[in-house]
Amino acid sequence: QVDGDGHSSTVTKGRLAGFGGAPNMGHDPRGRRHATPAWIDMRVTGNTDTDTYLARGKKLVVQMVETYQEGGKPTFVKTLDAVDVAKKSGMDLAPIMIYGDDVTHLLTEEGIAYLYKARSLEERRDMIAAVAGVTEIGLSQDPKKTQKLRQEGLVVFPEDLGIRRTDATRELLAAKNIADLVTWSDGLYEPPAKFRSW
């Protein structure tokens, strides 16, 4: 699940999956001795030369989700089930996989929100709603604000990138099935039995 602030958790009602295992997300160092191109690309620079040199980069974290899950359950929700799980089980904190302010890009079938460019929490929420589809979060978006976000390049839809939605089919995928993945990995990938269909 993902909430309106971009926090996500794999813990839902009736399902306690692992959490906190997102690679390299278990720490939050603010200092940096060296800068990588990806880290630098995530910074929003100021108006002066000094601001540019002091602007902090950010770890690239792309959250990719479909707006609805199997069984018609919305991925985007007002409140994560993880909050209720924390309350009922006496946890100090909800089992969050990735906090929203760590996410730089949110990608759904509706479009991409460049969250690292958000200038305020309200704008960030508007960006998330813009790509949340017909979920409760998505239906709360203001079409005029979404259009403005698109004009400013903060949110892009497929058509903004020259992609026709009707062209997005499985035929465009490099791997057509699990067997292709096994072949390309020279047998290193051993899929679970439920994915073996050959």
What residue segments make up the domains of the chain, in order of their start? 61-162, 168-198
Please write the tens of the pLDDT for every residue from 2-16: 999 999 888 888 777
Q: Residue 77 has what DSSP assignment?
A: -
pLDDT for 32: 63
Kindly tell me if the per-residue pLDDT of 136 is higher than 80: yes
Residue 175, C-beta contacts closer than 8 angstroms, at least 6 positions apart? 181, 184
Percent of the chain with pLDDT over 90: 45
Kindly tell me if the per-residue pLDDT of 132 is higher than 80: yes
Please write the tens of the pLDDT for every residue from 54-109: 777 888 889 999 999 888 999 999 999 999 999 998 989 888 888 898 899 999 99
pLDDT for 13: 80
pLDDT for 175: 81
Residue range 110-124: average pLDDT?
95
Nearest-5° angle of CA 80, CA 85, CA 91?
115
Asked whether 149 and 119 are in contact (CB, 8 A), the reply is no
Kindly tell me if the per-residue pLDDT of 146 is higher than 90: yes
Asked whether 41 and 84 are in contact (CB, 8 A), the reply is no
Q: Which two tokens stand for residue 69?
A: 């899950």
Residue range 175-182: average pLDDT?
85
What is the strand order of the sheet 112-113 is part of?
62-64, 105-107, 112-113, 155-156
Nearest-5° angle of CA 143, CA 108, CA 120?
55
Asked whether 63 and 107 are in contact (CB, 8 A), the reply is yes
Asked whether 160 and 151 are in contact (CB, 8 A), the reply is no
